[in-house]
Chain A
Amino acid sequence: MAVMDLNPLWISLKTALVATAITFILGIIVARWMAGREFKGKSLLDGIFILPLVLPPTVVGFILLWILGRNGWLGSFFFEIGRPVVFSWSATVIAAAVVSFPLMYQTARGAFEQIDANIEDAARTLGASEGTVFWRITIPMAWPGIAAGTILAFARSLGEFGATLMLAGNIPGRTQTIPVAIYFLVEGGKQQQALIWVMVILLISFASIVALNYWKKYQRRFSSRLVREVTADS
């Protein structure tokens, strides 16, 4: 094989990066919003946010098709304005973002909930506005968790297959990501080419996990703080 088509790599990376950026922002906003609140139906809402993680990707793909397809309530709008979602590059991003969102959301929410509310209150008594509290205290303290969530979300985006195939299809040079390429290469009997992509995915995923472990160590440095028992008073 003289020249290899590198498009799947670029598409995969581009998709994973954009999807991660989306889940990063959405995940933090939703996680922060959910962490500081108690309301009726919270666990139901939480369940909906987590659902893409437990559902088979094909089911997620099916639901996305149903919403974003030509006859879907959102899809028909995009079709009207001449930018159909299905089988476009944005479809790969949407599929990746939806399946990786729960990882970002869950990890970030855990990080927010671990923060001692007194620490944020302390900042408030020291004249900090809500914005200052969030950017100077909450985010830095939750950062190890957020970073871990980001890496997990990135790895998940990169590996997304089922929903991507359902929503974006397999269009070389446009929607064909590495996992999709591997599937069709193997199906076409091109084991060796598939193996190369397998190696690439292995490399990126392994690097992500190593990075994640590094962050966990960093996080432990923080969480060992102030774990002194204090006689409880309400």
Chain B
Amino acid sequence: MAILGPSGCGKTMTLKCIAGLMTPNQGSIILDKQVLYDSQQRINLPARERKIGFLFQNYALFPHLTVHENIAFGIRQLPVAQRNERVQQLLGKMRLDRFGHRYPVELSGGQQQRVALARAMAPEPEVLLLDEPFSALDTQVKEQLEAELLEIQSDFQGHVLFVTHNLAEAYRLSSKMAVYETGGLLQWGERQTIIERPVNEKVARLTGMENIFDGIVSGIEGSRVDIRLGTGYLSLYPDNLNRLVVNQEISIAIRPEYVKLADSQDKNCLTAELIDGKEELSFYSYTFQFQEGTNIKVHISKSAGPGLENGNTYRLYLPSENLVILGE
């Protein structure tokens, strides 16, 4: 599971509260029915008794201990032979066999990261908390570590919770996501739901749903809702109709990659002028402008053909299943 949110929104604080390194003002923290913290019952288990592994953003390795000693720190109560065996096993898993005797300062960032991960895993925690695990690494090291993390996740029985400000990272590495913003939790659920059905504008913006328009409900027929957007009309089939009434002002949104150039469709099409085009690695990023002046961002795969020309007018198709009505 991932916690996604911008810098300074309390993600790290959430992890620290779960780990017992910070004390929340109120509320409760419950892990598999075990109460770790409860402000009303005055329960506050100290960090050392929570069996939670924590991977710090800056790794926080013990600089005065070797890699071997770092990893062994959490299992110092084990008999020496058993402890060494466990450390060796983790060193092997993390491809650190040759580095057991080194000090953290003598390792690269990626290696330090793996030591920190091995150290956190050594006592077999019930939960592994990862605080921005990849933010300090370059792309290649990062990809490798992501792969390792996924592998660990698959043979790790506990929960993995990680914090990031990177949407793609959160999506790749987790099945469930919580979206945070200063002040608290905005939405929590399956990653697909978060990406495709954000509950409000904030979540939409944080998850890259860049196109957000103001429209007016022009009609409701069965499960279909018609929305007037400037001079055009769009139809969609929202999951629930309860709160909608005709003439209501609403916000609707669509991800840039779901907007297509219209070929034969006649419904859900809007006319717009291309005002800006950028070439990204695997797609074109276009900005179109509707007659009334609103912009729409569209990502079109390069495999779909050559680039479009600025100044031309196109018909854009906004599939109804990809349109979302945003709440307040």
Contacts and interface: CB of A to CB of B under 8 A. Distances in A.
A226 B61 contact: yes
A111 to B, nearest CB: 13
Interface stretch (B12-20, B203-211, B268-276): B12-20
Interface stretch (A126-134, A161-169, A192-200): A126-134
A231 B135 contact: yes
Q: How many interface residues does chain B have, given as a range?
A: 35 or more
A22 to B, nearest CB: 27
Contacts of A26: none
Interface in A127-149: 127-129, 136-137, 140-141, 143
Nearest to B77: A127
B179 interface: no
A88 to B, nearest CB: 42
A93 B61 CA distance: 41
| B9, B52, B74, B120: most-surrounded residue (chain A CB, <10 A) | B74
Contacts of B122: 126
B188 interface: no
Interface in A76-127: 116, 118-119, 121-127
Contacts, number: 109
Interface stretch (B104-112, B235-243, B318-326): B104-112
Interface in B35-66: 46-50, 52-54, 56-64
Given A126-B74, A225-B63, A121 B47 contact: yes
Contact of A124 (B13, B20, B63, B77): B20
A158 B210 CA distance: 71
Contact of A141 (B49, B57, B64, B109): B64
B219 interface: no
A129 to B, nearest CB: 6
Contacts of B8: 233-234
A121 B54 contact: yes
B165 interface: yes
Nearest to A222: B63
A127 B131 CA distance: 19
Nearest to A224: B105
A228 interface: yes
Nearest to B57: A230
Nearest to A118: B60
Given A127-B123, A226-B112, A233 B64 contact: no
Interface residues of A, number: 29
A14 to B, nearest CB: 33
A231 B112 contact: no
Contact of A123 (B9, B11, B73, B136): B73
Interface string B1-40: 0000001111111001001110000000000000000000
Nearest to B131: A233
Interface in A177-227: 221-222, 224-226
B297 interface: no
A232 interface: yes
A125 B57 CA distance: 14
B114 interface: no
B58 A226 contact: yes
Contact of B63 (A129, A141, A234): A141
Contacts of B58: 116, 118, 226, 228, 230
Contacts of A118: 56-58, 60
B197 interface: no
B63 A231 contact: no
A27 to B, nearest CB: 21
A226 B64 CA distance: 12
A60 B56 CA distance: 47
Given A119-B62, A230-B58, A231-B132, A125 B104 contact: no
Contact of B11 (A122, A137, A143, A233): A233
B12 A233 contact: yes
Contacts of B105: 221-222, 224-226
A165 B61 CA distance: 49
A125 B136 contact: no
Contacts of A226: 58-59, 61, 63, 104-105, 112
Given A121-B60, A125-B53, A226-B104, 10 more contacts: A119-B60, A119-B61, A126-B74, A127-B74, A127-B77, A225-B63, A229-B136, A233-B131, A233-B165, A234-B8
